[in-house]
Amino acid sequence: MSEAIAIEPLPLAIPRRVLRLLPGVALLVALGYAGKLAEQLLRDYGKAHHLALPQIEYVLWAIVFGLIVANTVGVPQIFKPGIATYDFWLKAGIVLLGARFLLGDVLKLGRISLLLVGIELVVAIAIMTVIGRWFRLKPKLTSLLAIGSSICGVSAIIAAKGAIEADDDDATFAIAAILALGAFGLFAYPAIGHLLHMSDRSFGLWAGLAVDNTAEAAAAGAIFSDAAGKVAVLTKSTRNAMIGFVVLAYALYWASRGQAHEVKSKAAFVWQKFPKFVLGFLFVSALATAGAFQPQQMASLANLSRWAFLLTFAGVGLKTDFRELKRQGLRPFVVGALAELSITVVTLVLVLAASAVFDL
């Protein structure tokens, strides 16, 4: 799951809360739209001058524009509440993306995703546990890093922090590692995918399995191609759906050692952690499968989903502050990089094997 920055539950009236969001949302729209224009302008320029310019997707432009703003002039406080809504746009975009999937495709891809996600979870947790022991990290910090790298990045770490009663410092350390590697993966994965001539489905599966935050996974997929972006979101959502079970397992483990509070109802715990937007995605997909939408309406919903993702991608760039990551020191990068590199290689092998078996 992506970094879930909450809109703080301030005791403000709803109109005032909405007003607080406007500057940041306007910035997301402006940067996202600038990214879309940049893609068009470059393509038109290439055509007009008969130049074979590289096709740079709006996704990459929107992220780069966001990165430039965040890491040069910085983001003034007035924009921050609205920028934090990028996570909201991501989830709304995923629900709307359901209109582009028939349930049959979801089930087919979902089955393959579920199988690979199961293997990825076990491998990622094992790798992170071994590396944590090598570097003599605190056991709860190792747990947080294992949860973050196996499921869904920052929000999984935040969900697990309360459940296993980890320190704030451990959570900050784990989040810094996941964020730094997410930023790197955004650019590295599509390049590797093209180098290996991966198909859209294979690359989407790989991005969904290996990239930790949902927004970065969606972006890495979309940078590769539109179709890969769809598959990346589906695979990452399957991974996100596992959050409750993995966090529950860790909570039970630490409770059994007397270092976390008891879990009263396991079913309620899993439901509380379950990402509800997955249900919304399945519902819209079921409507599309049942023929509830005419072709024009399907196109409109698909376009709405693209607009929502456009705002998300601008937010991904704006929230990545390299100075903040640098302040966290080198250790999170080294520990995280070693683990992520291992997970990257393992998931790549898994996907290439699955592509051969399932003819993806």
Q: Taking a C-beta distance cutoff of 8 angstroms, is the pair 206, 198 a contact?
A: yes
Instruction: Copy the structure tokens of residue 88.
Output: 């909201």
CA distance 208 to 244: 18
CA distance 186 to 182: 6
Q: Taking a C-beta distance cutoff of 8 angstroms, is the pair 230, 309 a contact?
A: no
Residue written as token pair 């809360």? 17
Q: Which stretch binds other proteins (CB under 8 A): 73-81, 94-102, 133-141, 184-192?
A: 94-102
CB of 236 to other proteins, least distance (A): 15
Helices of type H across the chain = 14-48, 58-71, 80-83, 86-97, 103-134, 139-150, 153-164, 168-195, 200-210, 214-224, 226-240, 243-256, 266-273, 277-289, 295-319, 322-327, 331-358
Instruction: Copy the structure tokens of residue 160.
Output: 């697990």
Name residues contacting other proteins, limited to 269-328 (CB under 8 A).
Answer: 272-273, 275-277, 279-280, 283-284, 287, 292-293, 296-297, 299-301, 303-304, 306-308
Hey, what amino acid is at 74? G
Q: Which stretch binds other proteins (CB under 8 A): 115-123, 144-152, 155-163, 322-330?
A: 155-163
Q: Taking a C-beta distance cutoff of 8 angstroms, is the pair 202, 352 a contact?
A: yes
Q: Which stretch binds other proteins (CB under 8 A): 62-70, 156-164, 200-208, 214-222?
A: 156-164
Q: Which stretch binds other proteins (CB under 8 A): 46-54, 73-81, 93-101, 322-330?
A: 93-101
Q: Which stretch binds other proteins (CB under 8 A): 4-12, 113-121, 194-202, 351-359?
A: 4-12
CB of 77 to other proteins, least distance (A): 18
Q: Which is nearer to other proteins, 67 or 171 (CB)?
A: 171
Q: How many residues touch other proteins (CB under 8 A)?
A: 42
What SS3 state is found at 350? helix
Q: Taking a C-beta distance cutoff of 8 angstroms, is the pair 144, 161 a contact?
A: yes
Q: Which residue in 91, 140, 239, 319 binds other proteins (CB under 8 A)?
A: 91
Q: Which is nearer to other proteins, 135 or 293 (CB)?
A: 293
Q: Taking a C-beta distance cutoff of 8 angstroms, is the pair 21, 85 a contact?
A: yes
Q: Which is nearer to other proteins, 9 or 11 (CB)?
A: 9
Name residues contacting other proteins, limited to 33-72 (CB under 8 A).
Answer: none
Name residues contacting other proteins, limited to 162-221 (CB under 8 A).
Answer: 162
Q: Which residue in 25, 28, 60, 92 binds other proteins (CB under 8 A)?
A: 92
Q: Which is nearer to other proteins, 7 or 192 (CB)?
A: 7
Q: Which stretch binds other proteins (CB under 8 A): 15-23, 45-53, 154-162, 325-333?
A: 154-162
CB of 345 to other proteins, least distance (A): 31
CA distance 226 to 252: 40
Residue written as token pair 């539109």? 226
Residues at the contact surface with other proteins, assessed by CB under 8 A: 4-9, 87-93, 95-96, 99, 155, 158-159, 162, 272-273, 275-277, 279-280, 283-284, 287, 292-293, 296-297, 299-301, 303-304, 306-308
